[in-house]
Structure 1
């Protein structure tokens, strides 16, 4: 139509700006870099350094602390349980020792020996018996020869030594004053003194010169008998003769 003003060409249509796409890791890196730059600028302006902590390291430390807390609590619980167990065992041992002392009020052993308990795993060896008819020194030597293999305490040795006494010898021990024996050595001294009359009398060395071979005795038998007789000779004299 006439009179209509023709439309001007508005030119090319507006173009959409391109969208920049970045990954999550790149975004994280950019944020960390921006943070570092901001901290650096702040330090330059104020002259005050700022303590910086890398987020990953901080997170790692926090996780380590969270993991260590249950472990520490577990160790404390175990320690408390162990202490309670030790206390119960000590109480039980004290009660047991009190019962032992109460049951053996008339024992010649002191409380120190009475309360010494043999380890449950200890197996009693086959010990020689003593009835009072033999040399007490020989019995002591035989007993110590066996017990030296086990390394028991003086108190345990005293208790075990008493188990080797039989008959009248056992009666002698039970007749001793209550609580008078405090060590194994003290027990041995009393034992040796009381049965001193049973000790074998050592022969003099001159006795050996009187030993003669019998007419119907072989040389081997004679030498064996002679060697047995030398065992009855006092050691000091034998040494001087040698």
Structure 2
């Protein structure tokens, strides 16, 4: 049993830092539990890399998602699908749990 545990721990150390599972997700349980809309269509925006105006990008994204009647939780959770490599690396390194609703702070 100890040997098997040691093997699993060794394997875990080999997992790339970029790999994130639900257990390591920065999203709250409420956000992760929200069901996706069956016909949800993501906006056709350029991936956010951090170089452009983040407020403008967020406004465009939020307007599209609200038009589709997506919940705050889905708007929050799906936003990372619009991230480029640099922004995605930042998200995956985040250890703080995000608020459970858009506009909430801690």
TM-score, length-normalised on structure 2?
Answer: 0.68
Aligned twin of 2:39: 122
Bigger fraction of residues in helix:
1
How many angstroms does 1:131 deviate by? 1.0
What is the alpha-carbon distance in structure 2 between the residues aligned to residue 111 and residue 156 of structure 1?
A: 12
**1:165-180 residue pairs with structure 2 within 5 A?**
165-180=83-98
Deviation at 1:109, TM superposition (A): 0.2
Structure possessing the higher relative contact order (Cα contacts under 8 Å, 6 or more residues apart) = 2
After TM superposition, the score normalised by the length of structure 1 is 0.32
Q: Check if 1:150 corresponds to 2:72.
A: no
Give structure 2 stretches of 5+ with no counterpart.
1-20
SS at match of 2:24: coil
Structure 2 residue 70 is matched with structure 1 residue 133: no
Conserved in 1, the CA contact under 8 Å of 2:43 and 2:61? no
State the Cα RMSD in Å: 1.9
In structure 1, list runs of 5 or more residues that go unmatched.
Answer: 1-102, 190-242
Match of 1:208 in 2: none
- Secondary structure at the counterpart of residue 105 of structure 1: helix
- Mapped pair 1:110 → 2:28: yes
Alignment of 1:45-60 (within 5 A): none
